Amino acid sequence: MKFSIYTHGDFDGLVSGAIGYNFCKEVGLSLDKITFVEYSTYPPEVWDSYRFDPIVNVVTDFPYSRALPSSDFFIWADHHQERFVPDSSEITRGVCFYDSDAPSCARVLEPLAKLNPLLESLVPWADMVDSARYESAEQAVLMKDPPLRVAVAMSQTFNDDVFRAELLKMICQVPPDQILSHPKVDDAYRRYTWKQERSIDFLQKNLVLYEDKDVLVGICSFVGYKFSSRYAAFLVQPNLDFLIHIRSIPPWDSPAVSLSVSYNPWKEFDCVIPLHEILRDVYDGDSGGHVRVAAAVLPNAQAAMELARKLAQVVCTRLTTAREKVT
């Protein structure tokens, strides 16, 4: 029997997709295809009506599709706050792995990861990347560790699904330090460091600060630039509480932009407010994420900046209110 992998196109998606791939190979299935799915190209109305082939379909690090039961058998795994989670008692031809408290989808699939020591060793790195648990802003920006350089390769080759499928298979077979010499991995890291250097220079001149009641929010827009950095702002301004990051998304001629809001991962907080819920409250479009990081795709840069200003105000108010309740 054949199987297909559908996984999110980030590092957690790479690792969790590889865990699903490895499991299917272990039980004797043959690969049909690997597809990297994005929220922008598979919105709920498209994803819920997607025509899955009548084979074994594995979906990782992406929302559940109501069309999945059309598979001969399916595996679904995710850790994001979902709009819909199926009732396991109603599933007859599939299995679901879901834990909204897990730092990564790879962590949700840890029991299957134990079948392959290479993949098991990548689970903590998927936790680190997907939940922004880097040890320092420097580690997050420079990404020097071998698993992090593989993560860079994944993010920098978004338009090369053939290579990303190859990379998914590679991490099942060899450790990350043996992948770094691959020409596309090396080239991706060179391009990444170039972007980080320019991002730092850009932020030193263009980071907008919003402060209210001792809460500091940074807003940065990289729209129109083919470089951006989610963490460089914390090098430039270490005292930030939150960062709202806006960037262009491929294809580059599209007006659509991505907006994310995140905590400063290296700052201690006396209380925590759920960013995914706040973003959902202030934006009626589709969004996703979890307590410390949330994101949405908006139609254009102007809409994103308007949302960013509103979001900054709400975040400041909500955190101040939460602090008052604690004291």
Task: Clarify whether residues 28 and 157 are in a common domain.
Answer: yes
Model confidence at 25: pLDDT above 80: yes
Task: Clarify whether residues 177 and 216 are in a common domain.
Answer: no
Task: Clarify whether residues 109 and 240 are in a common domain.
Answer: no
Residue 283 sits in a domain of what CATH number? 3.10.310.40
For the chain, the average pLDDT equals 94
- DSSP characters over 178-245: GTTTSHHHHHHHHHHHHHHHHHHHHHHHH-EEEEETTEEEEEEE-TT-S---SSHHHHH-TT-SEEEE
pLDDT, residue 229, reads: 85
194 belongs to a structural domain: no
Residue 9 sits in a domain of what CATH number? 3.90.1640
Model confidence at 70: pLDDT above 90: yes
Q: pLDDT (tens digit, 9 = 90+) per residue, 103-162? A: 999 999 999 999 999 999 999 999 999 988 899 999 999 999 999 999 999 999 989 999
Rounded mean pLDDT, 21-34: 98
40 belongs to a structural domain: yes
Task: Clarify whether residues 58 and 139 are in a common domain.
Answer: yes
196 belongs to a structural domain: no
Model confidence at 287: pLDDT above 80: yes
pLDDT, residue 81, reads: 80
pLDDT, residue 132, reads: 80
Task: Clarify whether residues 181 and 226 are in a common domain.
Answer: no
CA distance 172 to 118: 6
Task: Clarify whether residues 235 and 305 are in a common domain.
Answer: yes
Model confidence at 276: pLDDT above 90: yes
201 belongs to a structural domain: no
Query: Which domain does 212 fall in, by range?
Result: 207-326
pLDDT, residue 326, reads: 81
* Residue at which a domain ends, from 152, 186, 220: 186
**pLDDT above 90 as % of the chain:** 84
Query: Which tokens is 313 given?
Result: 């105000």
Task: Clarify whether residues 179 and 216 are in a common domain.
Answer: no
pLDDT, residue 252, reads: 72
Task: Clarify whether residues 45 and 176 are in a common domain.
Answer: yes
**What is the SS3 assignment for 57?**
strand
199 belongs to a structural domain: no
Model confidence at 71: pLDDT above 80: yes
Task: Clarify whether residues 132 and 241 are in a common domain.
Answer: no
Region of poorest pLDDT, from 32-36, 48-52, 80-84, 174-178: 80-84
169 belongs to a structural domain: yes
The total number of structural domains in the chain stands at: 2
Q: pLDDT (tens digit, 9 = 90+) per residue, 206-217? A: 999 999 989 999
Query: Which tokens is 199 given?
Result: 């991002």
Model confidence at 283: pLDDT above 90: yes
Task: Clarify whether residues 181 and 116 are in a common domain.
Answer: yes
pLDDT, residue 87, reads: 83
Task: Clarify whether residues 222 and 168 are in a common domain.
Answer: no
* Residue at which a domain ends, from 121, 155, 186: 186
Q: How confident is the model at residue 286 (pLDDT cuts 50, 70, 90)?
A: confident
192 belongs to a structural domain: no
pLDDT, residue 91, reads: 86
Query: Which tokens is 244 given?
Result: 């709202």
Task: Clarify whether residues 11 and 105 are in a common domain.
Answer: yes
322 belongs to a structural domain: yes
